Amino acid sequence: MYKYNFEQNSQHRIEILELSDEKCKFSFEGDLSIANAIRRVMIAEVPVMAIHFVDIIENTSPLSDEFLAQRLGLIPLVSYAADSKMYDWEADADSIDDQKTKVVFTLRQKNLNDAPLEITSQHLEPEFGQVGEMAIRPVRMFSPINGKEVGIPITRLGKNQSVHVRCHALKGFGKMHAKWTPINIATFRHEAELNFDHSQTQSLSLFEKQSIRDSCPMNVFAMDANQDLIVNAIEKCVFCEECIRCAESMKKPRLIKMQHKKNKYIFTVESAGQLKAADIVQKALIVLRKKVDEISQDLSFAQQQQQI
């Protein structure tokens, strides 16, 4: 059974291992429940913008209206400014200020040529709102072949086909629909712990040591200067137990002890482009904090009620 260890968890530590706009890798020292909560919030509760309503004015493309709308919805929108927007349901119903809740894009294309025209996210034009880096706009996509900006494909138009739609991007979070999820990957793993039974390592021949080293597909082991088997890259271990299998084949089943290290987790967060990876983590923490605050507020309110 899982138990919360207050003493051990009094200190939470985050150490950043790798950081770029798209990817953030960090180690987290602290309790598992908190680690998992961060992960879950990143997937489901960090608010971003996504196209939610689509007014179809004309659609003679090969895709049906619903199909087109679904594809539009899944286009990631750069949402640095999502914080300044309100949720649809928060806005005052009487004085609807579109600017406060949404961004509107228009897509109006007609193909007059014989060659098919590919409609991409580049063809989406914002109707109002800011411009520049902070603007809410489709994430830019670059070709993996030549590095050119290509845009995310939406549909293709044949000759004389056209699309004319108005897309309303709203603020939301991943629990509502996957299109509001800011991450591609948000995962963590427990740090591995590999220990040798030193009473047995001595009896290993060089060949056996080498074969244990080579058994690992991730090259976790290495040999040191003394031709001793050492754990070189523990972070690579994927718990495949190949080394244990190898040791078993040498009739030394207890040679290597494999464990999950408690209280240390390595997070990998890859952004889908709406937010910077580090921002996602930060915002997740803010959401989490807010939730905890709400609970404590509720608790103290309840306590007050009881006292009265």
Partner 1 sequence: MISEKDKLITSYLSFRGLQKQHIDSFNYFIEQRLEQIVKSPLNQRITCESDSSFLLEYLSIRVENPTFTSSWDKYSLKSLLYPHECRLNDQTYAGDIYVNVRIHMKGREPIEEKDVLIGRMPIMLGSKKCNLSGKTEAEIFQYGECPYDPKGYFIIEGNEKVILILEQVVDNRIIVDVDNKTDQYVSTVQSYQLETKSKASIILKKNKFYVKSSSFKDAPLFIVFKALGIVNDKEIIELIGTEPSIVEKLLMSFQDSSDEKIKTQLDALQYIGKLITSKFGGQSSNLADQAREKLAQVFLAHVNCKKYDFYPKAIYLGQMVRRLILAMEDKRFVDDKDYYGNKRMRCAGNLLELLFEDLFKGLNSTISSILKKELGKANCKFTPKDVTMKMKEFGVDITKGLNRAIKTGKWTIQRFHMDRQGVTQLLARISYTSALGMLTKMRSQVQKTLKVSGPRALVGSQFGMICPADTPDGEDCGLVKTLALLTHITQEDIQDSVYKIILSMGVEDICHFKPSEFHKNYIVYLNGIIVGMHARPQEFVDQLRILRRRGKINEFVSIHKDDLRKVVNISGDSGRLVRPLILVKDGKPQLIQIDMIDFKQNDAKTVFSSFVKNGKIEYLDVNESDNAFIALTINDVTMETTHLEIDQMTILSCVTGLVPFPHHNQSARNTFQCQMGKQSLGIIGMNTQIRCDTQLYQLIYPQTPLVRTVSMEAVNQHRLPAGHNAQVAVMSYSCYDIEDALIMNKSSLDRGFGRTAVYKKSVTECEINQRNKESRFNERIDEPPTKTHNTKKKFIKKYHALDNDGITKVGAQLHHGDIYVNKKTPQVPDNPQTENIQIADTPSVFKEKWPYTVDRVLIINNTNDGTEKIKTIKTIFRQIRRPEFGDKFSSRHGQKGVVGLIVNQEDMPFNERGWCPDLIMNPHGYPSRMTIAKLMELLCGKLGALEGKFKYGTAFGGENVLQVGEELLKRGFHYQGKDCLISGITGEYMECYVYQGPIFYQRLKHMVIDKIHARAKGPMEKLTRQPVEGRAKDGGQRIGEMERDCFLAYGASNLLIERLLISSDPFNVYVCEICGMFKSDSVCRGCNTDKVYQIRLPYCCKLLFQELLAMNIKPKLQLVPSHERQEYTMN
Residues forming the site for partner 1 (CB under 8 A): 2, 32-33, 35-36, 39-40, 43-44, 56, 59, 62, 64-67, 70, 74, 174-175, 177-179, 181, 184-190, 217-218, 238-240, 242, 260, 268, 270
Please say which residue, 71 or 126, places its beta carbon nearer to partner 1: 71
CB of 113 to partner 1, least distance (A): 19
Please say which residue, 186 or 229, places its beta carbon nearer to partner 1: 186
Cβ count within 10 A of residue 86: 14
CB of 268 to partner 1, least distance (A): 6
Please say which residue, 177 or 254, places its beta carbon nearer to partner 1: 177
> How does strand 23-29 pair with strand 256-271?
antiparallel
Contact 121/138 with Cβ under 8 angstroms? Answer: yes
Please say which residue, 259 or 303, places its beta carbon nearer to partner 1: 259
* Cα separation, 219 vs 112, whole angstroms: 57
CA neighbor of 28 nearest in space, from 232, 216, 268: 268
* Cα separation, 77 vs 272, whole angstroms: 9
CB of 293 to partner 1, least distance (A): 21
Please say which residue, 34 or 86, places its beta carbon nearer to partner 1: 34
Token duo for residue 122: 């580049």
Largest alpha-carbon pair distance within the chain?
81
Provide the residue type at 190 as one letter: H
CB of 189 to partner 1, least distance (A): 4
Please say which residue, 217 or 253, places its beta carbon nearer to partner 1: 217
Quick one: CA dihedral 229, 234, 238, 241, positive or negative?
Answer: positive
CB of 175 to partner 1, least distance (A): 6
Angle (CA) 95 99 100, round 5°? 70
CB of 202 to partner 1, least distance (A): 29
